[in-house]
Chain A
Amino acid sequence: EPEVTQTPSHQVTQMGQEVILRCVPISNHLYFYWYRQILGQKVEFLVSFYNNEISEKSEIFDDQFSVERPDGSNFTLKIRSTKLEDSAMYFCASSESGIQPQHFGDGTRLSIL
């Protein structure tokens, strides 16, 4: 069964450094998403992406965050200058259309030191 893949599984970064999290969505999916889950909290929406542009973003997704689809298969989340509070599990998801279920990857655990 097709799946969303994310790399790396764990990223450790010094505060203030840039980090790029990578995702390969399911190949025929057109909508892409990033979510995060801080330890002990609920899964929170960050951003959705369709037709090479952001379609919705949350308050969390400030100017430090950006997303890109650099080629036909990858979807990336960049955090420009990481803060301690960015430590979380980051999940990528994709869906065929907006009203279809979103399918999630296994996440990247981001640890900011």
Chain B
Amino acid sequence: DQQVKQNSPSLSVQEGRISILNCDYTNSMFDYFLWYKKYPAEGPTFLISISSIKDKNEDGRFTVFLNKSAKHLSLHIVPSQPGDSAVYFCAASDPSNSGYALNFGKGTSLLVTP
């Protein structure tokens, strides 16, 4: 049961341009969303989060947008750098679950080319 979907398995972007990674969710109870970056042989690294009371959150080169009516969020990276090449995971949390379990998407592999 895929409650969090990342429909693009991969994305290639030129250095300096914008990278846009997309994520859709089906569970309307989700109210906290996170993006993680993962390099091979490492664990997921937290990037940025957003709660459902906001529609945008910005941290440096990273901005997350949330469209609750469309059940869609996106991560923008501007400008993209070669070091951003990694797998990006979208994750969501349902507050009705007392354990704060994160539901992950399958990830999008981003390649930033010089």
Contacts and interface: CB of A to CB of B under 8 A. Distances in A.
Q: How large is the interface on B (under 10, 10 to 19, 20 to 34, 35 or more residues)?
A: 20 to 34
Interface stretch (B20-28, B63-71, B76-84, B99-107): B99-107
Given A42-B105, A58-B101, A99 B43 contact: no
Contacts of A95: 100
A56 B101 contact: yes
Contact of B97 (A33, A35, A56, A102): A56
B7 interface: no
Interface of B: 32, 34, 36, 41-46, 49, 51, 89, 91, 93, 95, 97-107
The 5 closest A-B pairs by CB, nearest first: A56-B99, A48-B99, A104-B43, A98-B100, A45-B101
Given A91-B44, A99-B100, 13 more contacts: A33-B101, A42-B104, A43-B89, A43-B104, A48-B101, A54-B99, A98-B98, A99-B95, A101-B46, A102-B46, A103-B46, A104-B36, A106-B42
